[in-house]
A and B are shown apart, each in its own frame.
Chain A
């Protein structure tokens, strides 16, 4: 029998008992008197209350005790005593047993609904998936079920259709609404070679794309998987709670026995009074409120942030965010757009670019992409140079036409000399926030290439918001001090650590950690060591690939404002967990003494019915408080 049906049954059957209880002071009584009460209560105990007793007995045999143990013992005591009292012509307390069961079931019905609400957010994400896809098979476009789409398939998407899987556009262009996966509210323009995300909505154009990830590998599937993990994880704070809930129920039973002993033996109260206090203690104690304080808040908090494109890995991360004082940003791709462009070429333009392109042809460095892009514009086809050798932290060198050529940053000046004119030019470019690359050929420096990577629009706003929250932003970059400074000034960062070798980022994070806990924000690909070293690693996603392993928080959108949102949401969630636990503790530590009759002198007495109501409300209030996380306002504007 479902909880709902058990509740409805006990509500209907216990209503006459309730009427009798309220109306008896006015001289009204149920026909049949206590016999009717006895029959009605027996029905409630047998139908609605049986499950409590069953479960209590089953756990008892396992040397366990749970909430059902308390309900079963509490109501059972009242019920059995009332039967005894009925035959010995004393006052009966059938209404206590029946009403407590009704109230507790009422609480459970609500709780069930709310919990479903709290956990539903993620399951709904998966429902977003398209059911069918139009796939090119044997030169014809046919509709196939989702499960039959494989990597490499060419799919067609018409306006208003859902994109089935992740992939890359091969033909056509469109604007796509990606809000359901990334949380980005503005539709994004997509053209050939751009990536598309499965389950997002195509709005204007028709296009073809090649499937790159299907099934469980798609971004959406990964997000769902990750959020699920986060929601089942535990915050370290929960460990203390678990220790308490392990001993909670037996401890409450002992307290209840002591209450009876004190009232009956030491204070000389009647059996009835002592028993009512005992029953109240057993009924009011609520281990559930403690048990659900953390999981419900985690569920709502991580679910809400997932909808905004912020994936929080687990409860541990949430708790760590609370201690963060310093936020370290990687520059390229994090504060800046990450798509550097060549702005100036000093020297013989054609030759400098030619040498540079040949050297960078097979490099994956972001600056290399800028050089190659420029070369393409100028109609230069790079021929990859021979005998590549990396100059650690400085650049690369190789053979072009049998002569030694090199490209790299200003640390190369340890090995080569720059004319005064070029030095002046370089300083000027650097203060314009341009990264300067030195190009050499035949053992001489032949020119400079200035590359600029503009800060993201959101960067300055995000940094300002972080400062307002009392956090200390720091920029960490392998770039030259002057360039780094110029960018930092534009976005409002005061502290810059420049000229950092890629391998040393983690060490710098460690140094900063000695002052205060650090969050590191990076793009997740080359920043993995720093992301893991930091107390909280925040990986900026590229939109399609989420670097799940490296970061504790993953931002699906490439927007710096989400760093602020992520920190704020984590803090809010963690604060809610603390608040929930606080209430659950206070409730139990105040409720139990009151129920035991410690404050009788002040006229404060809890009847078992009130205790039952209190218990139902306590776990309800915890779930409700967690659900409120969905409604709390965030100070940051979502861009």
Chain B
């Protein structure tokens, strides 16, 4: 009886893991607030980047303000490969990063170990 129960639970857990981690989950895009000739958007770093996709307007100097709530060392660096940015994010403090919006495109960024990903779209 125990064994049947364990089998059922194990099967359900595997199914749940596959659905939860590998299934398609919609992520929201957030556009930056434009004030005058500046745009700013904040990203909360907690087990990932929220929002994970931000949209910036081309040609307007932009800033992304990261705030890391997550205590894990996994997320303490943020790396924008295309811009050569590799910044340390202090925990529970705002850290602003200037983004070059002169060229349109999709720029992905990640944590220091490239496990968590976020995206900046300039258009």
Which A residues fall within an 8 A CB radius of B?
Answer: 1, 3, 50-52, 54-68, 108, 111-112, 119, 225-226, 228-234, 238, 242, 245-247, 249-250, 253-254, 257-258, 260-261, 264-265, 287-288, 291-292, 295
Contact = CB atoms under 8 A, between A and B. Distances in A.
3 residue pairs, one from A and one from B, having the closest CB atoms = A58-B47, A229-B84, A291-B113
A253 B17 contact: yes
A295 B112 contact: yes
B10 A64 contact: no
A221 to B, nearest CB: 13
B40 interface: no
B86 A59 contact: no
A254 B112 contact: no
Interface in B75-123: 75, 79-81, 83-86, 112-116
B86 A231 contact: yes
Given A66-B74, A234-B81, A238-B114, A60 B14 contact: no
A228 B21 contact: no
Contacts of B75: 55
17 contacts: A3-B73, A55-B75, A59-B116, A62-B48, A64-B21, A65-B21, A68-B74, A230-B84, A231-B86, A232-B79, A246-B115, A250-B20, A258-B10, A265-B7, A287-B113, A291-B114, A292-B112
A119 B81 CA distance: 15
A233 B114 contact: no
Given A63-B20, A63-B25, A254-B17, A287 B115 contact: yes
B13 interface: yes
B73 A60 contact: no
Given A63-B25, A231-B86, A254-B17, A55 B114 contact: no
A261 B86 contact: no
Interface residues of B, number: 37
A64 to B, nearest CB: 5
A550 B97 CA distance: 28
Contact of B113 (A58, A258, A288): A288
B72 interface: yes
Contacts, number: 120
Given A62-B48, A63-B25, A265-B7, 13 more contacts: A50-B71, A54-B70, A55-B72, A58-B47, A60-B20, A61-B47, A62-B47, A68-B72, A233-B84, A247-B22, A254-B14, A265-B6, A265-B10
A64 B73 CA distance: 16
A210 to B, nearest CB: 30
B86 A292 contact: no
A245 B114 contact: yes
Given A63-B21, A232-B79, A232-B86, A112 B73 contact: yes
Contacts of A258: 10, 14
B72 A257 contact: no
Contacts of A247: 21-22
Interface SS majority for chain A: helix
Contacts of B80: 232
Contacts of A232: 79-81, 84-86
Contacts of B25: 63
A295 B115 CA distance: 12
Given A52-B72, A65-B21, A261-B10, A59 B48 contact: yes
A51 B113 contact: no
Nearest to B50: A62
Interface in B37-53: 46-48, 50, 52
B47 A250 contact: no
Contacts of A229: 83-84
B84 A257 contact: no
Contact of B3 (A242, A265, A291): A265
B6 to A, nearest CB: 6
A59 to B, nearest CB: 3
B111 to A, nearest CB: 9
B70 A58 contact: yes
A225 B86 CA distance: 11
| Residue of B7, B18, B46 with most partner-chain A CB within 10 A | B46
Contacts of A242: 114
Given A64-B116, A295-B112, A228 B47 contact: no
A253 B21 CA distance: 11
Given A68-B74, A250-B21, A228 B10 contact: no
A119 B86 CA distance: 10
Contacts of B72: 51-52, 54-55, 66, 68
